[in-house]
Chains A and B, each alone.
Chain A
Amino acid sequence: MNEEKYFELTGGFRPDFIAEAAEWKHEDHSAESEIGAIFEAELKRRTPELHSDTDTEKELPSVEAAEAEPIEPMPEISQNDMPRHLAAGITAIAAAIALTVGALVYMAQRPGDSMITPAGTTLADSSILSVQTGMEPGISVQTQTAAQSGSSAAENPASGTDSAGSGTAENSESASGGESDAENYTGTNFLGGSGHLRLIASGEPKLDFGQSTLQYDTSNLMGTMALEDDDYWYLLFGSQYSRISKTERDADGKAHNEYICQQAGCPHNSEACPAFQASQLVTDGRDLYAFSFNVLFSISDDGTRTPFFRLSEDSDGNRYRNGSPHDDPNDPGSADIPAENWYSEMGLIYFTRLGDTGKWFACFQLSHFDSTRPTFVNAVFEPMNEKGESTATLLKLPYNNIDCRFAFDSEKELLYAGVPEEHNENEGFSGYLLYAIDIHTGEAEKQSDAHLPSNWFYSGGKVYGIGWDEQVFIEGGKPNGGRMVDNYGCLNLETGEWTVIEENTNLENVNCIGSKVYARRQRSVGDDTVIRMNPDGTEEEVLYTRKNRITALNYVSEGFIFVQTSGGFELILNGECIPLDFRYDF
């Protein structure tokens, strides 16, 4: 399909579909409003005499009469008519209608305690009181005793060695020039705040952590992360950069975010500008870097940049250059470089530290002057030496294509990643398969023929995630239609067997910090929670409850939860909910 055909095809999409998408953000898609609309419609259907426009005075049916009538179940509503999160069943609708909405449940803490139990501790170290369901209006409070809070994920590496994390306790000297020096920094940093810039969470704007698993969307060339220093929290997502003061509050006591650069008249086009710096900022899951003009720089708190890596040659002897193919006497041998290795622009797609091996994995996208299709270089590399030399070890991936989720096993020194099953231009591919990649040789070995579930993570030699299973309806002993349901389960890599842990799950944003799984769960309509559990589903703890729909867990680490709800954004810091006036669009 060429561009003209594409525009012709898509240009014929129905105008109401186009408008629906444009108006989506501005509509209330909360569970309450959707339930309310369904309930209202059904109420009118059942009691038309009470909803006549012409006659408003009707005798209400007596309670006795109502009780004498058999109660009809609510009508079946197809999944197409209901938001996805209501697929749990009709009883959920009835329960939701009965709920009193609008109450906020705080996770309060006793003095000296912390809300979050550090990863690796068991429930013997903490206790959780039962959570009020919110049947009564008002605020219900849950207290939890816990061991002293762990610091941010960046400072508390995962303890599990075969979970999705680096798993090592000792941190090697960072590229920024020494861990202790960095942490002791007290001056103004390059984002305009004071003190050392610390990574809170990184990757996609969902549950993600400051560890070596790092997920980027393929089209997001710049980093997505949450940072903090002594003055601010910084939220970087796509091209939206904002900061929240740790101390300043509005007249009504709310925290608020503001654009990351508050310099009047700033054109945002130099390293003196926090927004410019943020636009080039990436992280390997622990340290910060800047990617600029096809070079990856390590960056210290005061903004000093040191060249860290430049793609110039790979393990197959391929050489790369920026510019158009040419023969430059000042660049010996440039005429011999294949045209496809000349690039007009290089983008950094994925970038992650591989534990403490002294190696990093990166995916670079090369744009070319004479082609509309970029090429990709997936490689493991070491930082450049004093001479500016570095060789990238190419990953030998089928189709040179890798998904945005991966995990590093520091004991085995294997990088686990999803690779598309097929690369047939006509048929596309049907799913991702798990490959284990030797970071020293680049050799990639398929681990299973079973498709990876979505939101997958690797722990204890198994792959967990939410798989899309078919639920077949049986009528009269015969299959009669079916539907696809989301089950949380476990994929045995050896046998390819998929075991369902939780059928028709209401877990979302599932991800793993160390040995624990963090996710959001909708216990009932309008009652979303953030939970933590073992990968096998045991020992589930409720970390945060919100009497509203949590639409996304944007950034999470121990002690820092930033969520998006149907009522706006909220910041939960060590158990305290910070009222927040948040703009998401500058």
Chain B
Amino acid sequence: MTCNKSSADYSAMYDLKRCLKAQWILPFIAALVACFIIITGLQNSFWFKESFSDRASEYIHILMPSARRVTFIMIGYILMGALTAVQSLSFLTSVKQCNVYLSMGITRKQLSKNRIFSTLIYLAIFSAVPIGASLILNAAKLSVTGELIFAALYYFLALFAGAVLGFGIGSVFTVSVGNIFESLVFSFTACLMPMILTACIETTFTYLVNGAVFVNENLGMNGGFTDFCSTLSDKLLLFDPMKYLEAVEGIGTKFASGTSARTLWASDWLPTIAFLIIGVLLVALTPELLKKRQAENAGMFGMNKGAVYFGVSVVSLAVFAFSGSMMFYLEKAAVYALCVLLPPVAALIFIAIIYRNKKDIAKGLKAVGAVALADALLLGICLTGVFGIYTAVPDIEDIAYAYVSPAASDFITTFSNSGRTEEFMSEVYGKFESEDDLKTVLSVHEKVKDNLGKGNHSSVCFVYKMKNGSEIVRYYRDVSDEAAKESLKVVETKWYRDLVTDLLTNDDFDAVKAEEELSNRYDEIRDDYRSLEGAEYELKWNTLSLYTQYCGETAITNSTLSDGLPLSEIMTKAQQKQFRQCLAQDITSMTAEDMFFNPSEPLYYLNFYLDESWFPDSSFNLIYLGRELVPVYESMTNTVNFLNSFNLGLKQLTAEDIRSLQVLPLEDRFDINANVNGSVHYRLDMTVRGSYKSAEYETGMTVYGDGFEYCTEITDKAVIEKYLSAQRAVACFIGDNGAFVKFNLKNGTTFVGYLSESVIP
């Protein structure tokens, strides 16, 4: 037998051929699933475009389906990459296979190189397959353009980068640990690490610090801010391979469609390139690690102490965060005890699973002790509010401007005849720039941070842009009723009053031009969309929506919403303008108390409609000033006097018109609809709306039981009369255990109102 280099090359070549035969299966399966997801997703998208749009511009190339599907594909490819690594290097975890492979005429480096090379080829091929399928579908449906092909390359690279990253992580762990179980567990954990870490930090802050110093996307934080502020996930975007494609989802599609003149931005490529580089570095590290690997580790548990400590850290941190989340169900003391006790127990169980013998488990007790100590320390830090950082209110001199998401707008629950209870996203108020406005914001902030954790689960969020360019986020998860009420004072600011005045009195507003300007602005800030610049942009969009709404038709109704008419039927254009000025004067002189908790019965309700003539195909999501109906109280003298000069002729509903009523206590309502609402604790702001002109809101809504079917019908005239005068079609309440009342009219219609706790016997 000749022992020479050519013989070694012969073995290496044969080994490579074997790898090429064996490594295609997992990438192939992943590509099949991705193709299925993409093809079905695209079919839906194309069908939707064809069915609901007759504008040529809507027929655009779509390379990827929805963000959720994209994320699913991305996660699938990363995990597939890791799984392929485990599969290809699994011979290292078997004593029998090590005996053969490591004793033959091929070096460890060559063995790993062959597996890496063959896998990378398949990862590239099967990353291209789903994108290619999408490309063909688009080409068949529309046309082939250079932009389309370039955008397809962009998506291909993103998928490939994810798969390579997963493969790199899987390779490093498989080469470093003893057996398949550990390589799978540690590889998957490492791939999911950014997601786990973000969730743990968010959960820990939300429940144990009672808030956050960052915007929290997932855990009940005010919705408004999460739309356009950088969340922790955003900040960690570069470290979360699972989510980055979701974040840049649509970029390629927009580019492929050629609807925008812009090219892909450097930042669009950044995560892809970064993950590809990290993946390649990890892959390159594998042959070196394999060279140093002790073959005797094959099949053994706990041979890599670094990996074990990594696992212990992740498990204990996750259990610590989980323990903190029990705050919703348990007493504080019990939660704190869990936070200190559960993670060491989890760490011990993890160590027992990994080592599986008493001697090594005993050695691992040191790690358990360290976990207990770290937990106590972490809990201590949380209890001090991260050393007081999260309760710190900035100095007015340092603030450039601020935004507030008040508790009152946390969730607005609309109760309609359809029986649907719907939660609207909260609104963000601002930007507050003047000294007086900032003083108001800071006083609200002071009040809120001094009244935390009182159990009604209202949350308030402040975002400050500092003069030095930094951004301060203060989110308080659970504030008292007083603090929640205090936060409504944002409507007493100059910013709010200027906005209302402008909305109601600006005749020169050009919505089309404003929309165009905003579109251009989007292209400028798209790169930094989830930032305060993004917030400003978003608020302008909302304001634009408001303008179009207030420039449209205004309807007026009686207090039971049973009769109404458009103002255009009784007023000239000039009179309508005058009416709006009166309304602006009254609203801007109201306090928050007058606006939200006015004890008197409204004389009328006003309803503003979008001026659809401006945007015939508009997909505007109408934004209201916190309420769908604007109540007109007797104290709004300018408005009331002006209206009184017209013969409105609105017929008021009387007890004679009503056959019966049913009363549904608020808590019962929440209990019944828990599956729909799931938010018993959002009790501050409740809008109750009757049936008048509500058809557009009922369209397409899922109809659930409204809860009244369980209530007795009351026909007593005295009760009907009493409840009729006491009901409110729009009701804001706090700490009020009132009830909903449903009036069944003799003409067969119904309407629903809210009764305060003080009215119900």
Decide if A and B are genuine partners: no
